[in-house]
Chains A and B, each alone.
Chain A
Amino acid sequence: MSGLDINGLSMRFDLPNGSSVQALKDVSISLKPGELMSVLGPSGCGKTTLLNIVAGFLAPTEGKIELNGHLVTGPDAERGMVFQKGALFEWMSVRENVDFGPRMKGMPKAERDKIADHLLEVVGLQDFKEKAVYELSGGMQQRVALARCLANEPDIILMDEPLGALDALTREKMQGLVLKLWKETGKTIILITHSVEEALLLGERLLVMAPRPGRIHKEYRLPFAERGVNADLRDVKKSEGFAETRDEILSMIWEMEEEIMGRTEEVA
């Protein structure tokens, strides 16, 4: 069976003070190769935990994950990560960051250079190859992070709020870039976001999660990502069904947030 299979995943954190947090409860998802799924939910609903388990940084308390038929037990080059920020290597140039994966595999320099040159052109950084990464703006740094991940040819790319630290204008541009990369490379992508609009734009499938315990609340299949591949994202936002879906999801998340607030007030 190819693709990603998440089966009955639960995660409980036992805290040192004796209590425990049920971060995820019985989460099951199945992703076909090449699918783009966004994950949305109020903070603390276990999105990062889910991604960390898929990446292999955490072992779940229950359930299992299979990728292309084999069990996920730890981090591996087949599952690439893009973090919000701070994951680039400041002591390396842009090029060295991008060809890190191939370099660790022992790929010859000529080949590595070809990959890096190509990817840096794709993300629009061909003029910054030898720059230090700390000299780049936040948006450019995320472009480097995307290129670094792609250079390694992973089967699936996991992104934890990759655009969360960017300003609104840069963010819009980067959303277009993510769609373009998805279409051009055909990678399977899971993208976590805080922004409802972003979730709609960057998800063929959209997973809305609910907190305490973290679980799947609702799943959508959306046409907007496909539309966005060939059109201006602003037009997509004006296109049919976008506003309605956005409002529906927004009020759903509002309700969840209010429920959380209510519960904490009761406690207090």
Chain B
Amino acid sequence: MTVLLFYLALFIGAFVLVKVIRGGMTSQKDFTSLKTVTFGDESAVRPDRAASIISVVVIFVIWGAFTGSKLIPIHVPAPFTGETQFTYTVEAEDGQRDDATIFVRVAPFGEKAEKFEVEPGEGLASNDAVAMTASRSATILFDKNDELKRKSGARVVAINGQEISADGSVDTGDGSVSLSGKGAILFTPSLGMQMNPIWLPAPEKVVERFFEIADEGYQNFTLWEHLGWSLIRVVVGFVLGSIVGIPLGYAMGLSGWFRGWFDPIVEFMRPVPPLALIPLVIIWFGIWETGKIFLLFLAALWIMTIAARAGVSGVNISKIHAAYSLGASKAQIMRHVIVPNSLPEIFTGARVAMGVCWGTVVAAELVAAQKGAGMMIIAASKFQLTDIVIMGIVLIGIIGYGIDILMRKAENWLVPWKGRS
């Protein structure tokens, strides 16, 4: 909730700030800047690059601020760490009372606090020493070294002189104290607003982890092997799917028998998400490469079939007629007209298929794999190594984005006539 408010504030703040800064500058004079009607004219809406940059920066600022990153100068309040103390008042059944102090040492996230001893002090209740870690609560069996025991009816009635009831709590400034069901003292150091690294580590921790794993590998494989294997699976699955799917799509676009035969299959399989096939594929092929490749093959197959079919159906009949009238044979029309004409559709299909395959491979590796990007993050999550999980997610995103950019580049290069007939 706080994060959202923070984000909203930064969004509005950046907008206002940029507006003010730009107000003084003369805007560039191009055609769009001369348009007077821009609201509702989609072509006049150009992404504001400053907004994009600030947007990315804001994500890192918030990430850093809420994780106590050393890269960011301002942070939200951190959880309490260090030493603190409070007194408790215990009352026996017969009304006898005594005070004692509890000394607490709170270590930062993920670290163990060193045990220590304190002087017991005078009286029926003795002082206690507690060592604990931030963001945890400690149950303090205060009466272990006291003469007034809970077993014989003694109970805590006040903390720092403030009365406490069985279901109430007292704020000591550095944390809060309440009573457990059996009357023991529960101390929770104040949490602050920062994330526990188990939920979200600081950005520099993720980067550190990246270099560490790039260096040493993870789970018996180097980082590049993990990512490389995922990519190889995608490429092999996609290529196999295309090798079968494209000719099948052509056949469906050119022959009534093929279209009739495969229509029900394709139309049925198309809406089934590849993820839903994972269990079946594991049952059939086990958890080894065959299963994953087969899954990706299926994911690519239907997309490529439909793309190739659409490419054939989309050919302008005038082109076919013209080619016949120029004396071309069926084979020549296939080679010189139908295939090139379908390439733009096939490229669109290929881009979609690569995206789907990349998503599917990660999901499949989450379920069962010895190596791969998905396996890396699921293995790390079992050990609560959140920094590896986040690093994996970022790498998966970057690679997916990279694949799409490459496909688009290839498209511009190989089918420059796309959308221009």
Contacts and interface: CB of A to CB of B under 8 A. Distances in A.
**Do A and B belong to a common assembly?**
yes
Interface of A: 55-57, 74-77, 79-81, 83-91, 100-101, 104-105, 132, 134, 148-149, 152, 154
Contact of A87 (B322, B336, B340): B322
21 contacts: A76-B325, A77-B326, A77-B327, A79-B325, A80-B326, A81-B321, A81-B322, A83-B318, A86-B316, A86-B318, A86-B319, A87-B321, A88-B319, A89-B319, A91-B340, A91-B417, A100-B323, A104-B326, A104-B327, A134-B420, A149-B326
Contacts of A80: 325-326
Contacts of B420: 90, 134
Query: What range describes how many residues of B lie at the interface?
Result: 20 to 34
B327 A87 contact: no
Contacts of A79: 325
A91 B347 CA distance: 14
Majority DSSP secondary structure for residues of B touching A: helix
A57 B417 contact: no
Contacts of A100: 323, 326, 328, 336
Contacts of A91: 340-341, 343, 415, 417
B24 interface: no
A75 B417 CA distance: 28
B329 interface: yes
A100 B329 CA distance: 12
A148 B319 contact: no
Contacts of B322: 81, 83, 87, 148
B421 A152 contact: no
Residue of B325, B328, B329 contacting most chain A CB atoms (<10 Å): B325
A36 B4 CA distance: 76
Nearest to B341: A91
Given A76-B325, A77-B325, A104-B327, A87 B319 contact: yes
A18 to B, nearest CB: 22
Residue of A84, A87, A154 contacting most chain B CB atoms (<10 Å): A87
A104 B334 CA distance: 12
Which 5 A-B pairs rank lowest in CB-CB distance, beginning with the nearest? A77-B327, A75-B324, A90-B417, A87-B318, A101-B326
B321 A55 contact: yes
A134 B344 CA distance: 15
A247 B324 CA distance: 39
Nearest to A74: B324
Contacts of B324: 56-57, 74-75
Given A87-B318, A134-B421, A75 B340 contact: no
A88 B421 CA distance: 9
Given A101-B326, A104-B326, A132 B318 contact: no
A55 B323 CA distance: 12
A187 B336 CA distance: 27
Residue of B326, B329, B343 contacting most chain A CB atoms (<10 Å): B326
A94 to B, nearest CB: 13
A55 B325 contact: yes
A132 B336 CA distance: 16
B416 interface: yes
A74 B327 CA distance: 11
A155 to B, nearest CB: 12
Contacts of A152: 326-327
Contacts of A88: 319
